[in-house]
Amino acid sequence: MFLSKLLIPILKNNPAEAKIKSHQLMLRVGMIKQSSAGIYSWLPLGFKVMKKIEKIVREEQDNIGAQELLMPTIQSSDIWKESGRYDDYGEEMLRIKDRQNREMLYGPTNEELITDIFRSSVKSYKSMPQLLYHIQWKFRDELRPRFGIMRCREFYMKDAYSFDLNDEEANFSYNKFFLAYLNTFKRLNLSAIPMAADTGPIGGNLSHEFIILADTGESKIYTDKRIFDVNFNDTVIENKSLKDLRSNYEKYYAVTDEKFNKKEFEKNVPEEHRLITKGIEVGHIFYFGDKYSKPMNSSVDHQGKKVFVKMGSYGVGVSRLVGAIIEAKYDDKNEVMKWPLSVAPYECAILDSGNKLDGHKVSKKALNVLDKLNMLDLIVDDTEDNISSKIKKFNLIGVPYQIILGSKTPDDAVEFREVGGKSEIIKISDLNKIEKIITSKRS
């Protein structure tokens, strides 16, 4: 956690190849490095943020009773031929041959693989419903990869799948994920709206995209602004409560391009509430009944009858979220990024310009502060830079709190600053105050 010892290759200026602010910032502060078109390495700083996002995504899946498993990235073409999607999926699918000349592929999504797991493991309706998820790399050979990790070819996704006996119960499962998504994005400090969406190659007829507003988003959206005020805080995981929640959202017109209808928009949304803007898709949920279970013969026994299971799938772009949060929070004019504390690469930075001890790069005071605040996720800037460039650097990286040990700070105190907020002088003997402030903001 001493900056000089970390692999954080910070650039002086914005890289010319990056068009949008998330891509610029991620390259600028060394979060990612492109390895080939649309394929990136995640360097320590970027990986740390992504892991924290992943943790929140995971916790909210666990909260609705979904079970985590892990499926491989490489799949056999056999199951895709069973579902009929091997030919349908087209050029976005990366097809590979192994040494035995078997047709394999790098999974762009996992409906087939999870259906195969389900059909070989669950035989009776008594084991229903099943909510399963994994967090795994995906590959889609996008025609035009761009905007860094926002639309790339290899990306990290949480994908969940539900299996139910009938439409009614499947709807309950769908609504659980609907709530889990609202809670996930809220914890990431994002205001994401669920919008009626097209189903694309996944199929089915019920679908919502979760979109956050951003000028650089690729989805054009048409919505009633009042949808932002829908409250979901008191929703309990119970059939009626979840149904009410969904209809509270569905009351308001909110769609992307593909579903837009000018007449309906103007009829349903009073002029003063209309909003036409752009957004980023961070999640997408689908209900498609027996679209996969039928061709793949995935059924359970229910009262002597064979029933094809009803399925839904639920994706969150975990890696895209890193960029989406930057798009939502980065002030590129002033070069200030503020990560929500829950996903910040570090919670607090100690910026030291005090008198150095012989043979040490940081002052005794900095080591003392570091030791006293060891409950926090800290980084010490022990480089040769002066204090104002250290502050600039950490404004850019976006560590939400800074402890400044400047030459003007009294010996027995530190300057404590919230990025983009005010600063105060705190006595070394009161350092636990800082710990309290920061830990109380954790979510």
Q: In the complex, what is the shortest distance from the CB of residue 82 to Mg ion, in angstroms, rounded to a whole number?
A: 23
- The CA distance from 110 to 142, in Å, is 17
Q: Is there binding between residue 23 and ligand ATP (CB under 6 A)?
A: no
The closest of 288, 407, 286, 395 to 349, measured between CA atoms, is 395
Choices 151-159, 347-355, 367-375, 429-437; region in contact with ligand ATP by CB under 6 A: 151-159
- For Mg ion, the closer CB: 134 or 208: 208
Q: Is there binding between residue 137 and ligand ATP (CB under 6 A)?
A: no
Residue least distant from Mg ion (Cβ): 284
User: Residues in contact with ligand ATP, total (CB under 6 A)?
Assistant: 16
DSSP 148: T
The dihedral built from the CA positions of residue 19, 215, 191 and 182, taken in this order, carries a sign that is negative
Q: Which does 223 bind (CB under 5 to 8 A by kind): ligand ATP, Mg ion, none?
A: none
403 DSSP β-pair partners: 350, 416
How big is the chain by its Cα radius of gyration, in Å? 25
The CB-side HSE value for 157 (13 A sphere, CA atoms) comes to 30
The closest of 77, 71, 75, 149 to 106, measured between CA atoms, is 75
Q: Is there binding between residue 135 and ligand ATP (CB under 6 A)?
A: no
- Out of 141, 142, 418, 435, which residue is the one contacting ligand ATP (CB under 6 A)? 142
- The CA distance from 92 to 95, in Å, is 9
- The CA distance from 394 to 379, in Å, is 10
Cβ atoms of 326 and 337 closer than 8 Å: yes
Distances (CA, A) of 45 to 42, 153, 163: 8, 21, 37
Q: Which does 140 bind (CB under 5 to 8 A by kind): Mg ion, ligand ATP, none?
A: ligand ATP
- For ligand ATP, the closer CB: 85 or 320: 320
Region 310-339 residues binding ligand ATP, contact defined as CB under 6 A:
315, 317, 319-320
- Out of 80, 118, 155, 346, which residue is the one contacting ligand ATP (CB under 6 A)? 155
- For Mg ion, the closer CB: 284 or 393: 284
- Out of 284, 320, 365, 390, which residue is the one contacting Mg ion (CB under 5 A)? 284
Q: In the complex, what is the shortest distance from the CB of residue 282 to ligand ATP, in angstroms, rounded to a whole number?
A: 5
Distances (CA, A) of 320 to 101, 156, 158, 282: 34, 8, 11, 7
Q: Is there binding between residue 85 and Mg ion (CB under 5 A)?
A: no
Q: Is there binding between residue 291 and ligand ATP (CB under 6 A)?
A: no
DSSP 153: S
Residues that bind ligand ATP (CB under 6 A): 109, 140, 142, 151-152, 155, 157, 200, 281-284, 315, 317, 319-320
Residues that bind Mg ion (CB under 5 A): 284
